[in-house]
Amino acid sequence: MLFIYVPFALFILYTFNSLAQRFCEKSELSSEKSSKVFRTINVAMLILLLSSYYEVNYL
């Protein structure tokens, strides 16, 4: 399961980061605010991916 899930997780993180990049460019956010947006999105997505991996494998 790990061999399938890791590429899936990387694809999801890449996709959300590219969407966040477009959002920051379109909104013309400063570099400080855009780094906060990226950090928030990455932490939230990492928590969601880890919890879904745990749920699929251990529950």
Angle subtended by helix axes 2-27 and 31-58, to nearest 10: 160
Rounded CA-CA distance 21/9 in Å is 18
For residue 59, pLDDT over 90 is answered with no
Q: What is the mean pLDDT of the chain?
A: 93
Backbone angles phi, psi at 33, to 5 degrees: -70, -40
Q: What is the pLDDT of residue 36?
A: 94
In angstroms, the CA 22 to CA 43 distance is 18
pLDDT of residue 1: 79
Identify the pLDDT of residue 50: 94
pLDDT tens sequence across 1-58: 788 999 999 999 999 999 999 999 999 999 999 999 999 999 999 999 999 999 988 8
pLDDT value for 13: 95
CA–chain centroid gap for 39, Å, is 9
Q: Domain extents for the chain?
A: 2-58
